[in-house]
Amino acid sequence: MSSEGEAKILSYGDVVLHEDDLQLLNNGGWLNDRLLSFAADYISSELPQEKKRKMAILSPPLTEMAKNIDDRHAIASIFAELDLPNKEFVFFMLNDNADPTRANGGSHWTLLVYVRECDRFVHFNSSPCVSLNEHFAQRVAKNVGVAIGTLKREVEMGPCPAQHNGYDCGIFVIEFLRCIVERENLSSVQLLSAEKISSKRKNWFGLICQLSANDASSSMITPVFWISQDEEFLHIRIRAPHANIAELELDYGEFLFYFSCAPYFLRLHFKHLVEEYAFGRGTASYDSDSEFMVRVAKKKKGEHFEGLDLITELLRPSETISAREKVIEVEGDEEEEDGDCDGSEYLTEQTIQDVDSGIENSRSLATLYGYGFAWRRTGVLEPLQSEIGRLVDLEDSEGVSIEDRRNACFEFDKEHFDSERYLADSLQPEQELLDVISAASQCSFILTESNREFLKELPKKKLLKLSDEENHQVALSLIDILYAYAYELRVNDGEMSCEAGWTCSKLSPSFSFLCRWQNPKQVGQ
């Protein structure tokens, strides 16, 4: 359920955990397949070589394959590298998701174990309802027979403690697995206490945080932060719920602010000077809401720091100011001259930037037929026409000049305008339409925490310097784009639907006809 925008906590084996995965352990959530896959990888990696040779732990994705592929010989081929016929114990982390096309489906985890010594499948189910997952356990046992090297199909119920809530099944499966792996004895599971198993959430939470802090391949998390100011100080509030306070490092001075507290890292770049940390006028504190409050003294009292809400700009270093002429090197010299060190080599990136490589365009051609940001691109849409279909309504995006596109848009709207539909909506509007029109706007101009999470991940992109006229034209395009965005929010009760991109592209002439405006009146016509 992690979104791509969520901060990565840990990369372990084939599993990548994000911050929202970690929160499932912390707030009593239902554990997802990523957490169980991590537990399977971790438990397996910690096994002595002797046990690794005789045990196989199939993570949730592999178990799903075993559950949903009915061709036993195909499964045997897929699992051939696991050498299952020579394993004494084979573990399956089983979910009751009945629809393989549905990601993150299902509501209950159980553990199925094959024991070669007694040639039997044993199913451990922590739910008071013992029949949960029984059907799927039998299906897995049937499907993996050839892969494991057994004719056994029956599944026995394994005695085990029962969970006391509706969300701890995942942690019970993890602890059942760990218990059997350590003791190599199925009956040892029933000796575990339900209360102790539930408390293991904290242990796994702490383990992931520790691995994240120690894992050099895992990128540090950029925390959410807020900055306010008064005449004398900057007040920086940093949200760091999983911080290890013992590893706090803090420094600032000149144009830089540096904060590190595993697994978080924050470096801010100001446009004005701040006092050195060593001067001692700043303060730092940590409260029970998992937030740091840092007070940083301004170098010049009364100076106003602009752009403290421009999160992306604060996170990215500005270009170094230099009196040297900018030189484009056409051919590399045989030997590079040693340059002065400006310190920029120590500024590691806080996020991986997605930088467009760019497409070289003829400036004169773009002036007449360009599109994209500031109408600087040509030759891009035509090769993609078969893929984007009717996303752009302009018939010939490369051949219709910028000046003619507004008329083409007008003629298109005139041809497709449905007067009867318009009159019906105007004279006899449906109640649903009236409700949408009369609904109070829920828009807010205050940045929420999720807004800040999004903004801090935005890459800083270098744009060509625009003339005043071009800046004006770009700003005018925002009018119809924002109109389309506002329409989408209005008709969907403040939410963006899955068709939002299509809707906005159709309602905005800047998108659908690649129009360029000269004044606000043109936009509204």
- For the domain spanning 8-214, the CATH number is 3.40.395.10
Query: Which burial class, exposed, middle or buried, applies to 423 when counting CB atoms under 10 A from its CB (0-12, 13-18, 19+)?
Result: exposed
Which of 122, 67, 48, 64 lies closest to 89 in space, CA to CA?
122
Number of CB atoms found within 10 A of residue 505's CB: 18
Rounded distance between C-alpha atoms, residue 224 and residue 7, angstroms: 11
Contact by Cβ (8 Å): 217, 10: no
**Domain layout of the chain by residue ranges:** 8-214, 224-315, 363-456+464-524
In 103-245, where does DSSP find H-type helix? Answer: 134-143, 145-148, 169-183, 194-214
Domains 8-214 and 224-315 share a fold: no
Which of 272, 276, 355, 348 lies closest to 316 in space, CA to CA?
348
pLDDT digit of tens for each residue in the chain (525 aa)? 444 445 677 888 888 888 888 889 977 789 999 999 999 999 999 898 889 999 999 999 999 999 998 888 888 888 988 999 999 999 999 999 887 766 667 889 999 999 999 999 999 999 988 788 899 999 999 999 999 999 988 999 999 999 999 899 999 999 999 999 999 999 999 999 999 999 999 899 888 887 876 664 445 788 889 999 999 999 999 988 878 788 888 999 989 999 988 878 899 999 999 999 888 888 999 887 789 999 999 999 999 999 898 888 888 775 543 333 334 334 444 444 444 444 444 454 554 333 333 334 445 677 888 888 888 888 777 766 665 667 788 888 888 888 898 898 888 888 888 888 888 878 877 887 777 778 777 777 788 877 887 777 776 666 677 888 888 989 999 999 999 888 888 888 777 777 788 888 888 898 888 899 988 888 877
Rounded distance between C-alpha atoms, residue 215 and residue 38, angstroms: 14
Rounded distance between C-alpha atoms, residue 511 and residue 500, angstroms: 13
Q: Which CATH class is domain 224-315?
A: mainly beta
Rounded distance between C-alpha atoms, residue 372 and residue 514, angstroms: 8
In 186-260, where does DSSP find H-type helix? Answer: 194-214
Which of 371, 379, 412 lies closest to 395 in space, CA to CA?
412
Query: Which burial class, exposed, middle or buried, applies to 488 when counting CB atoms under 10 A from its CB (0-12, 13-18, 19+)?
Result: buried
